[in-house]
Amino acid sequence: MSQAFYLPTRVFGGADCLKTHAAFFRTLGTKALVVTGRRSAVATGAGADLASALETQGIDYELFDQVPPNPGITEVREAAAVARAEDVDFVVGIGGGSPLDAAKAIAVLATNDLDDQALFVPPFAKLPLPIVAIPTTAGTGSEVTPYAILTNDRIQSKSNLGHETLFPRAAFLDARYTYGLPRHVTVNTALDQLSHLVEGYLAVRGTPFSSELALQGLRSLGPALRALAINQEQPSPALRETLLLSSTTAGMVITHTGTTAVHALGYGLTYFKDIDHGRANALLLPESLVFLQPAHGDKVRDILDALDMRNLQDFRSLVDSLLGPKETLTEAEMRQFAAIAIQARNMANTPRYPPRPTWWNSTEGASLPRDAPPRSDGARMSILRPGVARCLSTTKMI
């Protein structure tokens, strides 16, 4: 197991951290492109705080506030054209995962001429512009990762643009920007970070450092999720602070581990069914643990212990209570999403199942969809595909 750990993002945290550390922006240049969604920068106050921080440092900026949820290549090209035309020195992303990830792709396209396929094949000929991330949700962790996840129509899913030159130079964590989030956003983003911590702990690429971080993140997140499930009111400032901290911790984890089958499958639910990213993962997460438990019982036990849970039923109950009523999915859709997900790079990062899982010949196995392949499908398919089908088939969406 690799013991490498590299995370070059400078993290500033606490109330008013943009104001306190405004001088940092001077190290990046004299003109910025501020990238955000249609509302988040204004509604949270982060946009105004950034504007005054830049002004105090004599830094000019252009605003691109047209990043949609789940942005695609077209939108980032549009913003990159603005970055070039205005000759900016750096890019600041404000928002949830969509604007932060868009900011990274924009930073690449501002300095590199790349077609839609080459964009996802780093390294790049020229260094991307420096990136600064200001999260206004607590879930993506993008502020400390070198990943930009973009909707990619060519593969009918999302593609991961990842390279070490995409680490933000700085992340500003001010939990006040998350105070006004609607409940469904708070819940979905909290479930996304749960997924990052659980998948990161189980991932093939896990390291001793990422595992420690994942368990610590789960210890913080467990009580926070229970509080969210019990209390329908707006979370307290202290709870918001906890959620933002554990979200960034989860980002540090997936920086080193990547994600696994749950995210690969979740992208299909988002692309085809417009299910929010965190929610899509959470629909798949409990069953993925049930599936992995026979082969990776010790690790699943560690996850449950860190969350202070007795068993997987406790895990499922908590996730289900946060999800509420679930979506419907036909068997044909399930087959289609599984076939796409199986091609994703993060499938190989999913821990392997034993060659002959204990449920293979059991009556439980009979509940698998009929298209579960025979073992002669080739090693990779025979190991992974039943898992994909099983994860999807048991989200109770049929």
Q: Which is nearer to Zn ion, 32 or 391 (CB)?
A: 391
Contact (Cβ atoms closer than 8 angstroms) between residue 335 and residue 371: yes
3-state secondary structure of 49: helix
CB of 253 vs Zn ion, minimal distance in Å:
11
Both tokens of residue 222? Answer: 């467990």
CB of 16 vs Zn ion, minimal distance in Å:
28
Q: What Å distances lie between residue 64 and 41, 92, 107, 140, 151, CA to CA?
A: 11, 10, 13, 21, 19
CB of 45 vs Zn ion, minimal distance in Å:
25
Q: Which is nearer to Zn ion, 49 or 192 (CB)?
A: 192
Q: Please tell me what DSSP assigns to residue 350.
A: S
Site track 90-129 with Zn ion (rule: CB under 5 A), x = hit = ----------------------------------------
Q: DSSP for 230-296?
A: H--SPPPHHHHHHHHHHHHHHHHHHHHH---HHHHHHHHHHHHH---HHHHHHHHHHHHHHHHTTTS
CA-nearest of 344, 335, 285 to 159 is 344
* Residue 276 binding Zn ion, by CB under 5 A: no
Calculate helix-pair angle for 277-292, 183-202, nearest 10 degrees.
Answer: 40
Q: Which is nearer to Zn ion, 143 or 192 (CB)?
A: 192
CB of 262 vs Zn ion, minimal distance in Å:
9
Q: Which residues ranging from 342 to 381 are in contact with Zn ion (CB under 5 A)?
A: none
CB of 190 vs Zn ion, minimal distance in Å:
12
What's the start-to-end Cα distance of the chain, in Å? 39
CB of 9 vs Zn ion, minimal distance in Å:
18
Both tokens of residue 105? Answer: 């792709």
CB of 35 vs Zn ion, minimal distance in Å:
19
Q: Within a 10 A sphere around the Cβ of 316, how many other Cβ atoms?
A: 16
CB of 245 vs Zn ion, minimal distance in Å:
17
CA-nearest of 364, 382, 365 to 373 is 382
40: Cα within 13 Å, side-chain hemisphere:
28
Sheet holding 10-13, edge to edge: 10-13, 170-173, 131-135, 90-95, 31-36, 60-64
46/179 Cα distance (integer angstroms): 12
156/24 Cα distance (integer angstroms): 39
CB of 49 vs Zn ion, minimal distance in Å:
26
CB of 83 vs Zn ion, minimal distance in Å:
26
Q: Which is nearer to Zn ion, 192 or 276 (CB)?
A: 192
Q: Which residues ranging from 170 to 209 are in contact with Zn ion (CB under 5 A)?
A: 192
Strands 131-135 and 90-95: parallel
Q: Which is nearer to Zn ion, 220 or 382 (CB)?
A: 220
Q: Which is nearer to Zn ion, 101 or 192 (CB)?
A: 192
Q: Which is nearer to Zn ion, 137 or 382 (CB)?
A: 137
Q: Which is nearer to Zn ion, 196 or 390 (CB)?
A: 196
Q: Which is nearer to Zn ion, 174 or 192 (CB)?
A: 192
Q: Which is nearer to Zn ion, 47 or 93 (CB)?
A: 93
Site size with Zn ion, rule: CB under 5 A = 1
Q: Which is nearer to Zn ion, 9 or 382 (CB)?
A: 9
Nearest residue to Zn ion on Cβ basis: 192
Q: Within a 10 A sphere around the Cβ of 197, how many other Cβ atoms?
A: 32
CB of 196 vs Zn ion, minimal distance in Å:
6
In sequence order, the 6+-apart residues with CB closer than 8 A to the CB of 339 are: none
Contact (Cβ atoms closer than 8 angstroms) between residue 264 and residue 238: no
Can you give the binding site for Zn ion, defined by CB under 5 A?
192
